[in-house]
Structure 1
């Protein structure tokens, strides 16, 4: 069933191959975004800030409902579909860029110039598509406890199922990204999955059995389609772009929202040609910020929304002269509740494992590999670097009685040519939190590390490492590199610094927490359960920054689902009384 979505494309590719020419790309060129304009006087019913997996479903659904929508992205185009041009020479003459070919995704770690945000102290994509343009495309349905453990009423698992269905009907995902239905260089998957089976773990299909995530494993799932990245830009952005009431700009860095009290009238945008204000429709217009965990917090601070210590930093910066006056500030806990999946890397080696050098393949893939990809969208380059699989799960309950969900992801890379790195991600149920702040140069800083500052979280990570070591104990020929066979699991976990340099997964969430406890009156929430910023009547935040706690599902899938759910709530809200 996981190949069904590719049959139509596969048939087209097969027919084309009979002509002897290169395969057609599903990545057809489209009318690309406009450049940021300082001369525009248009107004819009909705301005959506950002272009990642939070922004795109919102923009699509709002425009589908008949509203005029402007989507603003601070970075350049990425996919060739939207006018992107960043590519290695072997893709010359095609409509593909480095962002379209799954096997080239690791290049972000070697070359991020013009792609990564320069005003954050952590890696994030400032490019059309946001994180969904640069990540590995991993994608699976959430476990019910992802919603039930920390999300508020109206956002529990039963509430989310309609949105889950909408997302996965538009973007089903696949375990077999190559157009011939084969998995290439599966030795790593075979080695680990066989070991887990021997250790008592059970094989599942991740998106069919998403409630079975304890001592289970699966092939890795991706949001790829037709042998290309696809994803939100090939679905939500594609349909939105076909409507006359939708527009999108690149190179448009939103500085702040323009507001009087709690009512937003527009956004101030920095273009290469200067600064301009784009207005929303008087009385009924709305702004949705979806610039990510760092970017959305920064925009709120610059807009006079946040804790006073951070607003004073902005006031004393180069922004100070144009910042909203202090009597208009809205005191909310923006930047608190920061979290990231705690990453713990283990490494094993086994003689059966075969490594593929994806970094070398960026500029000089073997001719057979490049031709297989270009002519039929088959082969190793249809798979995300560095060859993932399996993914597997464990649930640990420490002495505090709170379930911690662990997701593991295996990939073929490490210190040896026969190595695999097994990364444990601590997600749902984790208690540790940190804080994001802003400095005088208006750069966001992880000032309080969110990793393992709770004893139960530490205990879960340690026990998870031990469970995996026990699970793979029967694999003949397997060598433990990290931790060594003589090092205890606790000693290994405690030897890794609990800071972003050592634990970073780049799955940041939480800085604009959603909840019913209004942060203006001593609560912890920045947005209410309609995703509206407390103290405002037409300003919303929809992205991972509103997550109250982490999920164990892949962040892209969770953000898409949250976005679908949020836009339904936004559309159902009446306009302020002043608009009547």
Structure 2
């Protein structure tokens, strides 16, 4: 079929008749970008669809503060401006999700703080199915970190700036017997260890998949990129996808109509994130019956695939996120920086250092992350819980450090996301501290930290207060997205060997990342994760994408 460009005129001219593509990849985040590179390198024609606009300057991005106007840089290029997304999200975040999600080229890896961790072996070995264990992911992970090594010193002069908070905090950890490491040199040593934050940045700018995988893919004739284009649904006949129905993203030029995959052998891969991918599956007639009925009774109803072709799978269940517990301390040595002020009017010398040489404080991710430290808490149920602590020079006073405790690998609590009649997605059940042993680990971790920081002279506890015990403090914070969200959402299209169409089945995709009941529809993003990881998810998603590409390329497909 033909597609049309969306343009602001009364009549719409037909574009060049649409070609078919061997692969259509929906979503340009940490999952989608590596895929298009691998697939085009193998000689396949690939269309990458992104619902948002360009982000970094190399891809035509234009969103920037005035002090960047005479440069090719945007707000997304400069690490020190990363935190501005929480102050000024207009045009950057998705409007159809009740959580913060990046809707620009690059998705989360364009808007996040760029933390870049090699996974602990247990991150793969806990709950991932056979075929997806740490030994299976070793080679793909090595490929990822060869292309994107990461750095603990993003300034091109090799220096770190405003490290007073880091020095103060690690003095307490060191006195309590903790070990200093270069984290990505020792990914299996995430217990009683600490180090500087590792970022995907390169040459003082945001790097990552946008600066590596997407660049190499774009140089191949097999690659096509459409931005400002929203995927509405997968067009399918029974268990075979024939294409993707698309529409222009609101208030933007893009494409609309139906774009097709190569008859018989073409494939569709959803990489739109834990919420975006689930929404697409729902609108394509794949998911729990209650959610499909909501879509049927929405504006999609007249054109939705008929109910006799619905595929009943537990899409939206298994929702997971790091349980975030913020604590705050103050110390007279801490120096904070006005990151929000730097967006509009940076300190002239800091702006000059950045623009001239890519040096200085603006090469570091706001709000000056670090130290990062880890502890494994033996669970009251016999399952270890991994805690990832992430400090930043930010808080209620000018000498504050806020430290977020992330409960990761080993956690058992799960939630659910759903779709509304307006076709927006929301968290219906928050995945926080439902399991008693999860809560016990969070409390134990805080009790331990209070002890580890005891050697630090002149430290003031602000949250919890010095007179408040850990249990009372944890109980005082509601287990809701408003108070606990880390925005590291995973799990809504879980990978597994237990086919979710069957009784008690929990998996949406098989170990080739192929959707159960479909022969050529795949999911490759955070949606497939069966559980949370120790640290931030970006590098693990890219590694999963590299590995999924291996499996998908080796898999033969024929039309149903």
Unaligned runs of 5+ in 2: 8-13
Equivalent of 1:555 in 511, 514, 537: 537
Q: Is the 8 A contact 2:413 2:432 kept in 1?
A: yes
Matched with 2:270 is 289
Three-state SS of the structure 2 residue aligned to 1:140 is coil
Query: How far apart in 2 are the matches of 1:64 and 1:408?
Result: 38
Q: Is the 8 A contact 1:146 1:553 kept in 2?
A: no
- Tell whether 2:422 aligns with 1:445: no
> Any idea what the Cα deviations from partners look like across 1:77-123, whole Å, max 9, x if unmatched?
00000000000111111110000000000110110101110000000
Q: Is the 8 A contact 2:227 2:254 kept in 1?
A: no
Matched with 1:357 is 338
Matched with 2:495 is 514
1:349 Cα shift? Answer: 0.3
Query: How far apart in 1 are the matches of 2:5 and 2:454?
Result: 57
Give the structure-2-normalised TM-score: 0.96
> Any idea what the Cα deviations from partners look like across 1:341-378, whole Å, max 9, x if unmatched?
00000000000000000000101001100000000000
Query: How far apart in 2 are the matches of 1:57 and 1:109?
Result: 27
Query: How far apart in 1 are the matches of 2:535 and 2:327?
Result: 20
Q: Is the 8 A contact 2:55 2:110 kept in 1?
A: yes
Runs of at least 4 residues off by over 4 Å: 34-38
Q: Is the 8 A contact 1:354 1:417 kept in 2?
A: yes
Equivalent of 2:365 in 373, 381, 384: 384
Matched with 1:492 is 473
Matched with 2:112 is 135
- Tell whether 2:71 aligns with 1:94: yes
Q: Is the 8 A contact 2:5 2:254 kept in 1?
A: no
Q: Is the 8 A contact 1:35 1:251 kept in 2?
A: no
Three-state SS of the structure 1 residue aligned to 2:184 is coil
Matched with 1:524 is 506
Distance 1:35 1:549, change over 3 A: farther
Q: Is the 8 A contact 1:35 1:252 kept in 2?
A: no
> Any idea what the Cα deviations from partners look like across 1:547-575, whole Å, max 9, x if unmatched?
00111132101100010011100000012
Three-state SS of the structure 2 residue aligned to 1:520 is coil
Matched with 1:342 is 323
Query: How far apart in 1 are the matches of 2:536 and 2:139?
Result: 18
Query: How far apart in 1 are the matches of 2:411 and 2:311?
Result: 29
**How many residues in Structure 1 have an aligned counterpart in Structure 2?**
545
Query: How far apart in 2 are the matches of 1:211 and 1:140?
Result: 11
Instruction: Please list, as runs of the form range in 1=range in 2, the aligned pairs for 1:136-175 lying within 5 A after superposition.
Output: 136-175=113-152
Matched with 2:443 is 462
1:36 Cα shift? Answer: 6.8
Q: Is the 8 A contact 2:385 2:407 kept in 1?
A: yes
> Any idea what the Cα deviations from partners look like across 1:153-206, whole Å, max 9, x if unmatched?
011010000011000000000000000000000101111111110111111110
Matched with 1:80 is 57
Matched with 2:205 is 228
> Any idea what the Cα deviations from partners look like across 1:195-226, whole Å, max 9, x if unmatched?
11011111111001110111110111000000
> Any idea what the Cα deviations from partners look like across 1:458-485, whole Å, max 9, x if unmatched?
0000000111111010100100000001
- Tell whether 2:32 aligns with 1:51: no
Matched with 2:301 is 320
Q: Is the 8 A contact 2:233 2:284 kept in 1?
A: yes
Three-state SS of the structure 2 residue aligned to 1:192 is helix
Matched with 1:7 is none
Q: Is the 8 A contact 2:6 2:255 kept in 1?
A: no
Q: Is the 8 A contact 2:154 2:363 kept in 1?
A: yes
Unaligned runs of 5+ in 1: 1-33
Give the structure-1-normalised TM-score: 0.93
Query: How far apart in 2 are the matches of 1:107 and 1:49?
Result: 26
Query: How far apart in 2 are the matches of 1:77 and 1:317?
Result: 30
1:273 Cα shift? Answer: 6.9
